[in-house]
Amino acid sequence: MSKKKNVFISHYNEDDKYVHKLIDRLNDKGYEIRNGSIDRAKYRPYRVTDALIARFLRVRINWSGTFICLIGKDTHTRPWVNYEIQQAHKLGKPIVGIYAHGCANNVELPEAFKKYGGSPIGWNSLDKLGDILDGKIAPPENPDGTSSQPIYNIVRVDC
């Protein structure tokens, strides 16, 4: 039985191939993914205003049930990615980050994701992503998919 999910996958346009791979992999897991993000292959041949782009993004993010930020090596440099994350936060959408395939080390998170996002998960954590799409909470992960635990540095001093 297919589970329909409306998602918005925020990404750097050079990572379009990972967006399509992610959707295909989720479809193989039994999800019917309907992606509201902008696909470079469907761009208009003329330039539109930033205000029109912002409105279009807000409408698409509002339509989605879950906001996914695909984190690649250059994602943190893209101003529209930060805008999309901020809008998802304002709209109360669950925000999940997933590292693009091969981005296990030295990948910087977008500033807005650091502020509003949860713990990103690894590329091979489709079961966790499925749990998140189904409304469950997933434990934090490192970029390589291993568990990440919060660091507690508690120093007790006797006075």
- Distance between CA atoms of residues 36 and 10, nearest Å: 9
Average pLDDT over residues 19-26: 92
Name the pTM for this structure: 0.83
What residue has token string 């208009």? 44
Q: What is the pLDDT of residues 111-129, one digit of tens each?
A: 999 999 877 888 888 888 8
